[in-house]
Protein backbone atom coordinates (compact mmCIF):
# COMPACT_ATOMS: atom_id res chain seq x y z
CA UNK A 1 0.00 0.00 0.00
CA UNK A 2 2.69 2.49 1.03
CA UNK A 3 6.32 2.80 0.23
CA UNK A 4 8.74 4.46 2.60
CA UNK A 5 9.49 8.07 1.65
CA UNK A 6 6.17 8.20 -0.18
CA UNK A 7 3.19 10.42 0.47
CA UNK A 8 -0.41 9.57 1.20
CA UNK A 9 -2.71 11.97 -0.60
CA UNK A 10 -6.43 12.06 -0.08
CA UNK A 11 -8.12 13.59 -3.12
CA UNK A 12 -11.62 14.26 -4.32
CA UNK A 13 -11.88 14.61 -8.07
CA UNK A 14 -8.19 15.59 -8.37
CA UNK A 15 -8.49 18.23 -5.66
CA UNK A 16 -6.00 17.80 -2.84
CA UNK A 17 -7.91 17.67 0.42
CA UNK A 18 -5.36 16.01 2.69
CA UNK A 19 -1.72 14.96 2.75
CA UNK A 20 0.52 12.87 4.97
CA UNK A 21 4.26 13.00 4.24
CA UNK A 22 6.71 10.62 5.88
CA UNK A 23 10.09 8.98 5.41
CA UNK A 24 12.31 6.35 7.01
CA UNK A 25 15.26 7.35 9.15
CA UNK A 26 18.14 5.09 10.04
CA UNK A 27 16.72 2.05 11.74
CA UNK A 28 13.10 1.01 11.75
CA UNK A 29 11.43 4.31 12.69
CA UNK A 30 9.38 6.40 10.28
CA UNK A 31 9.35 10.19 10.57
CA UNK A 32 6.05 11.92 9.90
CA UNK A 33 7.01 15.19 8.23
CA UNK A 34 3.59 16.67 7.61
CA UNK A 35 -0.09 15.88 8.09
CA UNK A 36 -2.72 18.33 6.93
CA UNK A 37 -6.24 18.65 5.61
CA UNK A 38 -7.40 21.47 3.34
CA UNK A 39 -9.38 24.11 5.19
CA UNK A 40 -12.84 23.33 3.83
CA UNK A 41 -12.43 19.59 4.61
CA UNK A 42 -11.23 19.89 8.20
CA UNK A 43 -13.07 18.34 11.15
CA UNK A 44 -14.38 15.50 8.99
CA UNK A 45 -11.96 12.80 10.17
CA UNK A 46 -9.66 12.88 7.13
CA UNK A 47 -6.41 13.42 9.07
CA UNK A 48 -7.52 10.75 11.55
CA UNK A 49 -8.21 8.34 8.68
CA UNK A 50 -4.80 8.95 7.08
CA UNK A 51 -2.93 8.53 10.37
CA UNK A 52 -4.84 5.32 11.18
CA UNK A 53 -3.95 3.93 7.74
CA UNK A 54 -0.28 4.80 8.23
CA UNK A 55 -0.20 3.12 11.64
CA UNK A 56 -1.95 0.06 10.19
CA UNK A 57 0.61 -0.09 7.37
CA UNK A 58 3.50 0.26 9.81
CA UNK A 59 2.17 -2.61 11.90
CA UNK A 60 1.87 -4.84 8.81
CA UNK A 61 5.40 -3.91 7.70
CA UNK A 62 6.94 -4.56 11.13
CA UNK A 63 7.96 -0.93 11.55
CA UNK A 64 9.18 -0.23 15.09
CA UNK A 65 7.25 3.04 15.28
CA UNK A 66 6.84 6.65 14.20
CA UNK A 67 8.05 10.01 15.43
CA UNK A 68 7.13 13.61 14.69
CA UNK A 69 7.35 17.13 15.97
CA UNK A 70 3.90 18.46 16.84
CA UNK A 71 4.19 22.14 16.02
CA UNK A 72 1.51 24.65 15.19
CA UNK A 73 1.28 28.38 14.81
CA UNK A 74 0.92 30.32 18.03
CA UNK A 75 -2.09 32.22 16.68
CA UNK A 76 -5.04 30.16 15.49
CA UNK A 77 -6.18 30.71 11.90
CA UNK A 78 -9.56 29.49 10.68
CA UNK A 79 -10.02 26.06 12.30
CA UNK A 80 -6.37 25.04 12.59
CA UNK A 81 -5.46 23.28 15.79
CA UNK A 82 -3.72 25.20 18.54
CA UNK A 83 -0.63 23.63 20.11
CA UNK A 84 -2.53 21.95 22.98
CA UNK A 85 -5.18 20.58 20.60
CA UNK A 86 -2.52 19.29 18.21
CA UNK A 87 -0.66 17.54 21.01
CA UNK A 88 -3.94 16.01 22.24
CA UNK A 89 -4.68 14.74 18.71
CA UNK A 90 -1.40 12.79 18.63
CA UNK A 91 -1.51 11.74 22.29
CA UNK A 92 -4.96 10.23 21.67
CA UNK A 93 -3.33 8.01 19.01
CA UNK A 94 -0.78 6.75 21.49
CA UNK A 95 2.13 9.05 20.68
CA UNK A 96 4.16 9.98 23.73
CA UNK A 97 6.51 12.92 24.33
CA UNK A 98 10.18 11.98 24.49
CA UNK A 99 10.39 14.02 27.70
CA UNK A 100 7.97 15.98 29.83
CA UNK A 101 6.73 19.11 28.07
CA UNK A 102 8.31 18.20 24.72
CA UNK A 103 6.48 18.49 21.41
CA UNK A 104 8.72 15.78 19.90
CA UNK A 105 6.47 12.74 20.04
CA UNK A 106 7.07 9.05 19.39
CA UNK A 107 4.75 6.13 18.71
CA UNK A 108 5.90 2.55 19.27
CA UNK A 109 4.07 -0.68 18.53
CA UNK A 110 5.88 -2.27 21.47
CA UNK A 111 7.28 -0.63 24.57
CA UNK A 112 10.93 0.34 24.34
CA UNK A 113 13.18 -1.89 26.42
Confidence at residue 74, expressed as pLDDT on a 0 to 100 scale: 56
Architecture label for domain 7-108? 3-Layer(aba) Sandwich (3.40)
User: Could you list the mean pLDDT of each consecutive 10-residue stretch along the chain, which spans 113 residues?
Assistant: 59 76 80 86 90 90 87 59 81 87 79 51
Confidence at residue 39, expressed as pLDDT on a 0 to 100 scale: 82
What 3 state SS string does the chain have?
CCCCCCEEEEEECCEEEEEEEEEECCCCEEEEEEEEECHHHCCCCHHHHHHHHHHHHHHHCCCCEEEEECCCCCCCCCCCCCHHHHHHHHHHHCCEECCCCCCEEEEECCCCC
Domain boundaries, the chain: 7-108
Amino acid sequence: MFDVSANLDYKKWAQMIGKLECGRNTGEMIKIHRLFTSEMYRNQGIATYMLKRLIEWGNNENILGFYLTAASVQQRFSNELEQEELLKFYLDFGFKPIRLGSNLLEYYYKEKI
